[in-house]
């Protein structure tokens, strides 16, 4: 039985200000990494080369389009189409290099977002302010764990004492939660994803070393730092901007909006109201003029017989949403 929004809002207490709450070791680690990446971008203009610039553009496209948008989001999170395992793993590895978390961690957070969208249980609830939904939500691992891993979570002093200690189980893992989520069992059953989860940091480090060997410091600054920071803020704008500014085309109970310029930066993710209206759909740009580069790739993969079971909203479903919207 579905719970009302009021009931969902009562399940989690409001998030405290970052300056007033106690920070866990995970929070400090994530904050340091974010600061370090942003700070290094200051030096990028002084080491500009066209080769480094195009490395950043190509890697931004590969990790953002094939990795985050097609793999992490549409394929793994929503299962809007199927791929052969070798291609599924290849695309998800592109997402690993976006440095936004391993597939298990990313997908668990996103599925929770859709389950409790725009309530206090939403990991990046837009009602808690623009900056919270944009980036500061990743710096509160205690509440993120409480939302995504609520099945294993309790408010006991023992739990809190444990959470504020170093809880990483693997040296080269980068996690934002203190407990295992229970909404990604499909991924946890696969050796590939559990291996990536345990060794996550090794993979972007390996890419950075490779870029340094090929093009020196300019390739690292542009191909890693500038590219990753740009990718962060582009995808974070789907959580913040697209729940605040844009057009609402469908009768969804959340604050999602369609935003054309965010869509350009995220290869089609900006058609966010479309997505929340039809979560199962592999296509987000439902109108011919709504550019959706991820959908064009999926359509090509379907045409050559690689992508199968591609899901799209039916006309009756769209009409039903439209009618409710009009009424």
What residues does each domain of the chain span?
18-235
Decide if pLDDT at 155 tops 60: no
Q: Helices (DSSP H) in 16-49: which residue ranges?
A: 25-41
- Structure confidence at residue 170 (pLDDT): 63
Q: What integer is the mean pLDDT of 262-289?
A: 97
- pTM confidence score: 0.90
Residue 260 has pLDDT above 90, yes or no: yes
* Residues 53-85: tens digit of each pLDDT: 999 999 999 999 999 999 999 999 999 999 999
pLDDT band at 7 (very low <50, low <70, confident <90, very high): very low
* Arithmetic mean of pLDDT over the chain: 89
Q: What is the pLDDT of residue 178?
A: 73
Residue 4: the pLDDT is 46
pLDDT band at 24 (very low <50, low <70, confident <90, very high): confident
Q: pLDDT higher for 237 or 145?
A: 237
């Amino acid at each position: 039985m579905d719970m009302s929004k009021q009931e969902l809002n009562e399940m989690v207490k409001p998030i405290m200000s970052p300056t007033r709450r106690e920070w866990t070791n995970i929070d400090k680690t994530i904050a340091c990494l974010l600061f370090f990446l942003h700070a290094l971008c200051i030096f990028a203009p002084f080491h500009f080369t066209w080769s480094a610039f195009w490395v950043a553009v190509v890697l931004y496209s590969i990790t953002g389009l094939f990795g985050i948008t097609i793999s992490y989001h549409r394929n793994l999170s929503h299962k809007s189409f199927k791929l052969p395992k070798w291609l599924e793993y290849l695309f998800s590895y592109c997402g690993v290099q976006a440095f936004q978390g391993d597939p298990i961690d990313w997908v668990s957070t996103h599925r929770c977002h859709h389950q409790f969208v725009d309530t206090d249980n939403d990991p990046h609830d837009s009602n808690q302010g623009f900056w919270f939904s944009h980036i500061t939500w990743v710096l509160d691992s205690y509440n993120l764990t409480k939302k995504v891993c609520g099945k294993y979570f309790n408010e006991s002093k023992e739990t809190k004492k444990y959470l504020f200690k170093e809880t990483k189980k693997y040296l080269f893992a980068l996690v934002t939660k203190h407990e295992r989520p229970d909404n990604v069992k499909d991924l946890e059953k696969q050796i590939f994803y559990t291996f990536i989860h345990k060794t996550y940091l090794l993979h972007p480090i390996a890419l950075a070393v490779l870029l340094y060997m090929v093009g020196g410091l300019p390739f690292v600054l542009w191909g890693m730092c500038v590219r990753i920071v740009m990718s962060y803020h582009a995808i974070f704008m789907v959580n913040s901007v697209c729940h605040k500014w844009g057009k609402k085309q469908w009768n969804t109970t959340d604050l999602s909006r369609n935003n054309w310029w965010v869509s350009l930066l995220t290869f089609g993710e900006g058609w966010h109201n479309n997505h929340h209206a039809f979560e199962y759909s592999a296509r987000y740009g439902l109108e011919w003029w709504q550019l959706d580069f991820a959908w064009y790739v999926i359509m090509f993969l379907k045409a050559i017989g690689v992508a199968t079971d591609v899901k799209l909203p039916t006309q009756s479903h769209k009409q039903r949403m439209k009618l409710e919207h009009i009424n």
